[in-house]
């Protein structure tokens, strides 16, 4: 396992540049995704809350982790770069009293009369460092392969929760935590865009979506298994959705606004056999990395795509869904969630996931 010191100096330099730009004496990092990015490690205990199990205080002279006596030994041994000094408190104490306050302190969360630098920190982590880029490519490939292996074992009489169990095992076997898992069999696939698994049977089709996490970085993948012969109508629908996705991918370029990318789907759904307003019924995805999505991209979004920024698009319609995680490069998008063992088809020069037909 790579040591947490790897790539730390580059991330620290980004944070210190924010301190300098705002004339601050310190910057307090509190949010889980930002701390996970900064330390390249696990910043949570319960995975269901945004608050981290530690706070990070950065100055131009040092970096301090404020945490309690329960978490300090593990963080020191397994998560924190060596140059971070730990300030330990009793478990019944609040960390707030150990954090700098006032107008010369910045933070990514409200409180203590600090200056809000949450957007600046989000921008700092949107472009992956070389170390984090290589780590992300490995995490993404492992997530896709784990999901594919589990889906090949699905039977039509399985319950959705059985499918979720297989996927969960496959992910944990590859050292991947579960940030999200959605399963829909044929009974529910036309009804819900975010189908949390139930005891309903798979039936003739199952769509499985995951957001898998390792040391803070998150990859998103969706795969589909069908059990009955595919009708001409269903083939047309799935092929049409692949063309919608092609428009998104072609438009995803470094320096382009997310709003302009989304503008492509306002036209392509109607051109590919779907209602022209299909794009309004579910978000199409957006920037990712340390959250399943930092935010869903919309027509009004003027923020631009950064070099080496992870993005997960997810066009959906009529019970079909496409979702992979990509990296924005100078030469276009690079597929991160690649699984060479999953059936694929060529769409505009890219190998895209086919339906696994059983």
Residue-by-residue pLDDT tens, the chain, 358 positions = 455 577 899 999 999 999 999 999 999 999 999 999 999 999 999 877 777 999 999 999 999 999 999 999 999 999 999 999 999 999 999 999 999 999 999 999 999 999 999 999 999 999 999 999 999 999 999 999 999 999 999 999 999 999 999 999 999 999 999 999 999 999 999 999 999 999 999 999 999 999 999 999 999 999 999 999 999 999 999 999 999 999 999 999 999 999 999 999 999 999 999 999 999 999 999 999 999 999 999 999 999 999 999 999 999 999 999 999 999 999 999 999 999 999 999 999 999 999 999 9
Q: CATH 3.90.230.10 in the chain: give the residue spans.
A: 130-357
Q: CATH 3.40.350.10 in the chain: give the residue spans.
A: 8-125
| Backbone angle region of 107, left / alpha / beta, with phi > 0 → left and psi within -120 to 50 → alpha | beta
Closest CA to 54 of 20, 121, 99: 99
For residues 139 and 143, give the distance between their C-alpha atoms in angstroms, rounded to a whole number: 6
Q: Please name the residues in contact with 162: beta carbons below 8 A apart, sequence gap of 6 or more.
A: none
**Out of 3.90.230.10, 3.40.50.150, 3.30.420.40, 1.10.357.10, which CATH number does the structure's domain 130-357 have?**
3.90.230.10
Report which DSSP code applies to 289.
Answer: S
286: tokens are: 């957006």
CATH architecture of 8-125: 3-Layer(aba) Sandwich (3.40)
pTM of the complete model: 0.95
Residues in the chain: 358
Is residue 243 within 8 A of residue 167, CB to CB? The reply is no
């Amino acid at each position: 396992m790579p040591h947490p010191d790897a790539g730390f100096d580059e991330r620290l330099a980004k944070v210190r540049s924010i301190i300098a730009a705002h004339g601050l004496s310190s910057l307090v990092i509190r949010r889980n995704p930002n701390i996970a990015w900064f330390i390249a490690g696990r910043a949570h205990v319960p995975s269901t809350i945004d608050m981290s199990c530690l706070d990070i205080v950065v100055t131009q002279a040092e970096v301090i982790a404020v945490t309690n006596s329960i978490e300090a030994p593990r963080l020191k041994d397994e998560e924190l770069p060596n140059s971070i000094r730990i300030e330990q408190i009793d478990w019944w104490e609040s960390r707030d009293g150990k954090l700098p306050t006032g107008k010369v302190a910045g933070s990514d969360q409200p409180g203590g009369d600090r200056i809000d630098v949450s957007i600046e920190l989000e921008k700092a982590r949107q472009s992956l460092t070389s170390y984090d880029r290589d780590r992300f490519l490995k995490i993404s490939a492992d997530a896709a392969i784990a999901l594919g292996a589990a889906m090949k074992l699905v039977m039509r009489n399985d319950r959705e929760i059985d499918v979720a169990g297989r996927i969960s095992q496959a992910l944990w076997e590859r050292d991947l935590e579960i940030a999200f898992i959605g399963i829909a069999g044929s009974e529910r696939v036309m009804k819900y865009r975010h189908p949390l698994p139930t005891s309903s049977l798979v039936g003739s089709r199952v769509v499985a979506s995951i957001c898998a996490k390792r040391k803070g970085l998150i990859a998103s993948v969706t795969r589909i298994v069908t059990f009955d012969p595919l009708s001409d109508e269903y083939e047309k629908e799935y092929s049409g959705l692949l063309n919608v996705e092609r428009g998104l991918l072609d438009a995803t370029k470094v320096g382009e606004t997310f709003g302009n990318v989304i503008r492509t789907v306002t036209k392509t759904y109607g051109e590919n056999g779907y209602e022209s307003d299909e794009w309004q019924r579910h978000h199409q995805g957006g920037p990712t990395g340390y959250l399943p999505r930092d935010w869903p991209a919309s027509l009004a979004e003027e923020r631009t795509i950064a070099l080496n920024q992870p993005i997960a698009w997810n066009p959906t319609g009529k019970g079909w869904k496409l979702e992979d995680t990509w990296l924005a490069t100078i030469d276009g998008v690079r597929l991160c969630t690649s699984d060479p063992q999953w059936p694929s088809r060529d769409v505009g020069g890219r190998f895209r996931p086919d339906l696994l037909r059983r």
